[in-house]
């Protein structure tokens, strides 16, 4: 099933353009709940919430880039093959990927980044999972950990889903339950704040459940990363991704040699072009942060100033508001990639505004030897149960 409504435009953004559907293509059908359960189990996810078969679609839609210019993005929409005609919506924002084909909409069936959306849809929700900018079918490089563009991409994906769903004989209700993992935890908080602020007149925030987030890069994540408290190779990749992606947005350095040691100063930027795979990133980077970064870069990350400090204040503001809906912050114990202090700081920030978040400890879940990845699996099952209880 392929529907096309137009092509991306280079003209200035016009009122109503954001979220306009460009195309929709069905990518996966799992006919029965048993088919969904088998796919989720094979991917390492809990299938207890499966109630319906599902249909999955890749949507391409209009949105804006970090500078407010028109661009297209893509995302995954998964609908249950049963249940009520009017569907409650779950927005799931995924964790870090670097290759554009690792985005949710590029996966056929159940993969690590698409299985949460399949889980929520099979439980009876409309599951909406944006790829973000520069991933999936979106052009250009991905602006990693740029919460403003993650928020606009997620909000406009909801609008595109609302435009498409009636073509399947269903409709989206007003309520949106927001969740996301790792990078997507900050994105989820950004989207939730946007929805509560009334940035869309149709959708209404109902609950928030981010998982394993790096909500406080400056005061929690970067200190742990630089001090060796987190898994070394992940710290290498995250610090490289941050510097490369944010240099494109905020001009942190003039030459790669200022921040990356030789020989990586000649190769690291190209690794984050959306065309290199995870194994290529692993092979193309050293084992430790000290072997990757120059003394200047280490000092810059330890004591941010200028453009970096300003960008961090934006990225680290996602818990600086007062949700008027239930909030649960999910986290594994001793997460090796997202420092535990991130969740503590987020909860404290929300409470300082009068909110009452619940911190849900996930224990020590494991996926491929990682508690961080395991938290995505464990929380998906827990969040699906909680969302199902909310009316």
Question: Phi first, then psi: what are they for 373, rounded to 5°?
Answer: -65, -35
Whether the CB-CB separation of 376 and 114 falls below 8 Å is answered with no
Omega into 260 within 30° of 0, i.e. cis?
no
Beta strand segments in the chain, E: 2-4, 21-30, 54-64, 70-80, 86-93, 126-130, 171-181, 204-211, 328-331, 358-361
Pull the structure tokens for residue 156: 């406009």
Distance CA 243, CA 252 (A): 7
Distance CA 159, CA 50 (A): 26
Pull the structure tokens for residue 140: 């250009």
For position 16, what pLDDT does the model report?
77
Distance CA 372, CA 380 (A): 13
Q: Which of 135, 74, 130, 129 is nearest to 99 (CA)?
A: 135
Sole residue written with tokens 């007003």: 174
Burial class, 205, CB count within 10 angstroms (exposed 0-12 / middle 13-18 / buried 19+): buried
Burial class, 116, CB count within 10 angstroms (exposed 0-12 / middle 13-18 / buried 19+): buried
Q: Which residues pair with 56 in a beta bridge?
A: 28, 78
State the sign of the Cα–Cα–Cα–Cα dihedral 185, 189, 195, 196.
positive
Q: Which of 300, 268, 290 is nearest to 281 (CA)?
A: 268
Q: Which contacts (CB < 8 Å, 24+ apart) does range 33-36 have?
A: 33/122, 36/110, 36/118, 36/122
**Neighbour order of strands in the sheet with 328-331:** 2-4, 21-30, 54-64, 70-80, 126-130, 86-93, 171-181, 204-211, 328-331, 358-361
CA 215 to chain centre: 13
Q: What is the pLDDT tens value at each position of the chain, 391 positions in all?
A: 433 333 334 456 675 799 999 999 999 999 999 999 999 999 999 999 999 999 999 999 999 999 999 999 999 999 999 999 999 999 999 999 999 999 999 988 899 999 999 999 999 999 999 999 999 999 999 999 999 999 999 999 999 999 999 999 999 999 999 999 999 999 999 999 999 999 999 999 999 999 999 999 999 999 999 999 999 999 999 999 999 999 999 999 999 999 999 999 999 999 999 999 999 999 999 999 999 999 999 999 999 999 999 999 999 999 999 999 999 999 999 999 999 999 999 999 999 999 999 999 999 999 999 999 999 999 999 999 999 999 8
Distance CA 150, CA 168 (A): 27
Q: Which of 335, 145, 316 is nearest to 229 (CA)?
A: 335
Residue 211 CB neighbour total at 10 angstroms: 32
Per this entry, what is the length of the chain?
A: 391
Per DSSP, 140 falls in state S
Question: Phi first, then psi: what are they for 369, rounded to 5°?
Answer: 80, 10
Mind spelling out the 3-state secondary structure of 142-190?
CCCCCHHHHHHHHHHHHHHHHHHHHHHCCEEEEEEEEEEECHHHHHHHH
Distance CA 51, CA 248 (A): 44
Task: Region of 333 please: left (phi>0), alpha (psi -120 to 50) or beta.
Answer: beta
For position 15, what pLDDT does the model report?
58
The domains located in the chain, with CATH, are 2-215+321-389 (3.40.50.1820), 217-315 (1.10.260.160)
**pTM of the predicted protein model:** 0.95
CA 375 to chain centre: 14
């Amino acid at each position: 099933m392929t529907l096309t409504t137009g092509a991306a435009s280079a003209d200035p953004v016009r009122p109503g353009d954001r979220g306009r559907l460009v195309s929709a293509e069905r990518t996966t059908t799992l006919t029965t709940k048993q088919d969904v359960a088998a796919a989720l189990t094979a991917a390492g996810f809990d299938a207890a919430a499966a109630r319906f078969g599902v249909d999955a679609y890749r949507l391409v839609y209009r949105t804006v880039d970090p500078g407010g210019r028109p661009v297209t993005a893509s995302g995954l929409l998964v609908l249950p093959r049963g249940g009520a005609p009017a569907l409650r919506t779950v927005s799931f924002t995924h964790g870090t990927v670097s290759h554009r084909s690792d985005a949710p909409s590029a996966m056929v069936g159940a993969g690590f980044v698409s299985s949460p959306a399949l889980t929520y849809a099979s439980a009876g929700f409309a599951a909406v999972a944006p790829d973000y900018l520069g991933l999936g079918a979106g052009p250009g490089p991905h602006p990693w950990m740029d919460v403003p563009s993650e928020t606009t991409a997620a909000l406009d994906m909801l609008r595109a889903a609302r435009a498409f769903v009636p073509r399947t004989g269903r409709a989206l209700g007003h309520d949106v339950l927001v969740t996301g993992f790792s990078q997507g935890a900050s994105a989820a908080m950004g989207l939730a704040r946007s929805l509560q602020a009334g940035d869309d007149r149709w959708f209404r925030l109902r609950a928030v459940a981010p998982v394993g987030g790096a909500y406080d890069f400056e005061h929690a994540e970067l200190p742990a990363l630089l001090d060796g408290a987190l898994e070394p190779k992940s710290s290498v990749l995250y610090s490289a991704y941050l510097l490369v992606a944010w240099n494109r947005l905020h001009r942190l350095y003039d030459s790669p040699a200022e921040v990356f040691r030789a020989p990586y100063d000649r190769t690291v930027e190209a690794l984050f072009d959306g065309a290199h795979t995870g194994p290529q990133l692993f092979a193309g980077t050293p084992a430790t942060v000290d072997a990757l970064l120059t003394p200047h870069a280490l000092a810059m990350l330890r004591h941010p100033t200028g453009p970096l400090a300003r960008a961090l204040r934006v990225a680290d503001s996602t818990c600086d508001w007062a949700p008027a809906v239930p909030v649960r912050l999910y986290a594994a114990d001793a997460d090796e990639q997202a420092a535990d202090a991130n969740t503590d700081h987020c909860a404290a920030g929300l409470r300082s505004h009068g909110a009452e978040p619940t911190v849900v400890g996930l224990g020590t879940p494991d996926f491929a030897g990682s508690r961080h990845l395991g938290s995505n699996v464990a929380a998906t099952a827990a969040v699906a149960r909680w969302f199902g209880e909310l009316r």
